A and B are shown apart, each in its own frame.
Chain A
Amino acid sequence: MIFLSYDSPYDPSKSFVVPWDLPPSWEHPFGTTSRGQDLFWWLTFAVRNSLYVGVVTAIISRVISILVGLTAGYRGGWIDRVLMAISDTFVVLPLLPILILLSFLLRESMNLLNLAIILGLFGWSFDARLIRSQVLSLRERSFTRTAVYSGTNSFWITIHEHLPFVLPIVFATTLNNLLWSMGMEVTLSVLGLSDLSTPTLGTALFWANQHGALVAGVWWWITAPALVTAVLFLGLYLLFTSINEYIDPRTRLRLIGG
């Protein structure tokens, strides 16, 4: 669907390019909206943008959580305490009100990228804690000491010895994070707090709601995005469980016969 969007016959930002309120048909597989847009093609953009938010958020938060988690875990001492204090602060901050506040403040520049960055900055703390606790136990295992007495410095110990154990956790939580940020975007959009001119799964629902789609009997306007969202989430879930199984050291060990 994402790739289809590049081939779309219609420009998503324009409205009233097709007859409005048409139910699903061969010509318009998901029907058209009250704003005269082809829902199928419009949704291809929506999925692309939503995924974009999800992926950017996930990447940013992953990078931060790995950095913070590995450093705090391996270095310990005051570095650990400071980093964990910061991370705890992020965990307890009430996210939604802050996001709403930020959306008001940034109203003008609240584009998708900014939204993703903000979400990314908020989404790392829990995983950082998880990674840190994993590293704490790895640090006590003999192979870490072997590496130390092989003259390896702490940077390479972290990269070579600990990161491979941490990556599966990171991948497992990426999915959660992706879904979380896409969900967040939907929430904000439905509340009308994001950049409403960009098609996303959230704005789809927002506009449908604005036009009283259900009341007006344009059921497909609501159903289609909901269905696409469900399929998308399910697909991601399956994709990640299989990637995860492939990457998890335990499966790998079993595979190579450990």
Chain B
Amino acid sequence: MTLLSVRNLRAYYQTEAYGISRTVQAVDGISFDLFPNEIYGVAGESSCGKTTLIKVISGNIKHPLKVLEGSVIYNFNGYQVDMLQISEDELRRNVRWKQISYVMQGSMSVLNPVRKVIKTFEDIVRTHEGITDKKKFLEQTRAHINRLGLPTDVLNAYPHQLSGGMRQRVAIALATVFQPALIIADEPTTALDVVVQRGVLHMIKDIQAMSKNTVLLVTHDMAVHANVTDRMMIMYAGRIAEEAPTESIFNAPLHPYTQHLINSLPMIGEKTTRTSLGGSPPNLANPPGGCRFHPRCPHVMDECRTVVPDLVTVKERHRVACHLFKEDSV
């Protein structure tokens, strides 16, 4: 059974101002599935379209972002949702927070800076389920906070009184009050230091282990993926370069981009020179033809310059989009 199935998704930013129109091909033909009870990672360099992909699959499609083609279908235990057709009203009533919740980099945007944390919980619960018994609500919230290993006195604090890491964990607690089927976390720890990052990621892992739901974790930090995710995709310039179980990505990467990414990671105890990728990141307003990685690829062939490689399954649960690999050649 799949929780989410995305097929051939194409979403562009189309802006027009004073006669100059620009199209940014941020998501360009992406297909993948998410299953219940897994932590799925999305990695890729800055501005390769990770956040854009998240926006589309969480139903946050606003001008100038436009979906040109493809489908995004959820199956929440039999409750089917077509994200590209659903009405804003139903999305708000039945899907957001309850089935899908979203944790962002800056948690301040969820927490109201002038209200105590508990009030924000109250607002969210009231708008989605209504509160009939205030005492019961308080009890449940405390229990929820406790279960996640946070001290209950954070509920009576104002957001600015909490440290950055605590705030981020409160935001996660808030995102999980309704036990959603899918938790989407976009760079949840990028601004935090390693110790706090560790605490926050532990919490995400614990929640997942407890409620057996699905976590979609987006970050460019490969080391985080190595420690947290079960399966992951490597995005490059709006497309999937490779998708596999995390172990395979790290131990047997196939795509030249992935290989480079893995080899360039510094490690304590190893001082050998790591090279960085030559060339510059692709411009999504005017991407290179064929395989978008070809201008920086060490194995570039003629074919790569003109033909877009298909994402082919080369091993069980291992897909790669590169002309070096053909479905039957492995």
Chain A contact residues, CB within 8 Å of chain B: 251, 254-255, 257
B contact residues, range = under 10
B114 within 8 A of A: no
Interface of B is mostly: strand
B210 within 8 A of A: no
B211 to chain A, nearest CB (A): 41
B288 to chain A, nearest CB (A): 18
Interface residues of B in 1-24 (CB under 8 A from A): 15, 17-18, 20, 22
A253 to chain B, nearest CB (A): 10
> Are B18 and A255 in touch, CB under 8 angstroms?
yes
B191 to chain A, nearest CB (A): 16
> Are A257 and B18 in touch, CB under 8 angstroms?
no
Residue of A nearest to B22 (CB): A257
Cα(A251)–Cα(B17), bound, Å: 9
B166 to chain A, nearest CB (A): 25
Residues of chain A lying within 8 A (CB to CB) of residue B285:
257
Chain B contact residues, CB within 8 Å of chain A: 15, 17-18, 20, 22, 285
| Listed A/B pairs (9) with beta-carbon separation below 8 Å | A251-B17, A254-B15, A254-B17, A255-B17, A255-B18, A255-B20, A257-B15, A257-B22, A257-B285
Cα(A255)–Cα(B15), bound, Å: 9
Other A-B pairs, 6, CB within 8 Å; known A251-B17, A255-B18, A255-B20: A254-B15, A254-B17, A255-B17, A257-B15, A257-B22, A257-B285
Interface of A is mostly: helix
Residue of A nearest to B64 (CB): A254
Cα(A87)–Cα(B99), bound, Å: 55
A255 to chain B, nearest CB (A): 5
Cα(A251)–Cα(B15), bound, Å: 12
Residues of chain B lying within 8 A (CB to CB) of residue A255:
17-18, 20
Residue of A nearest to B18 (CB): A255
Shortest 9 CB-CB contacts between residues of A and residues of B: A255-B17, A257-B22, A254-B17, A255-B18, A255-B20, A254-B15, A257-B285, A251-B17, A257-B15
Residues of chain B lying within 8 A (CB to CB) of residue A257:
15, 22, 285
B327 to chain A, nearest CB (A): 39
Cα(A165)–Cα(B285), bound, Å: 27
B63 to chain A, nearest CB (A): 12
Cα(A254)–Cα(B14), bound, Å: 12
Residues of chain B lying within 8 A (CB to CB) of residue A254:
15, 17
Residue of B nearest to A252 (CB): B17
Residue of B nearest to A251 (CB): B17
Cα(A28)–Cα(B19), bound, Å: 44
A116 to chain B, nearest CB (A): 35
A256 to chain B, nearest CB (A): 9
A241 to chain B, nearest CB (A): 15
Cα(A148)–Cα(B253), bound, Å: 46
Residues of chain A lying within 8 A (CB to CB) of residue B18:
255
A193 to chain B, nearest CB (A): 46
B40 to chain A, nearest CB (A): 32
Cα(A257)–Cα(B18), bound, Å: 12
Residues of chain A lying within 8 A (CB to CB) of residue B15:
254, 257
Residues of chain B lying within 8 A (CB to CB) of residue A251:
17
B298 to chain A, nearest CB (A): 31
B62 to chain A, nearest CB (A): 15
A42 to chain B, nearest CB (A): 40
Cα(A148)–Cα(B20), bound, Å: 36
B14 to chain A, nearest CB (A): 13
Residues of chain A lying within 8 A (CB to CB) of residue B20:
255
Cα(A255)–Cα(B17), bound, Å: 6
Cα(A254)–Cα(B63), bound, Å: 13
A67 to chain B, nearest CB (A): 33
Residue of A nearest to B285 (CB): A257
Residues of chain A lying within 8 A (CB to CB) of residue B22:
257
B215 to chain A, nearest CB (A): 32
Residue of B nearest to A257 (CB): B22
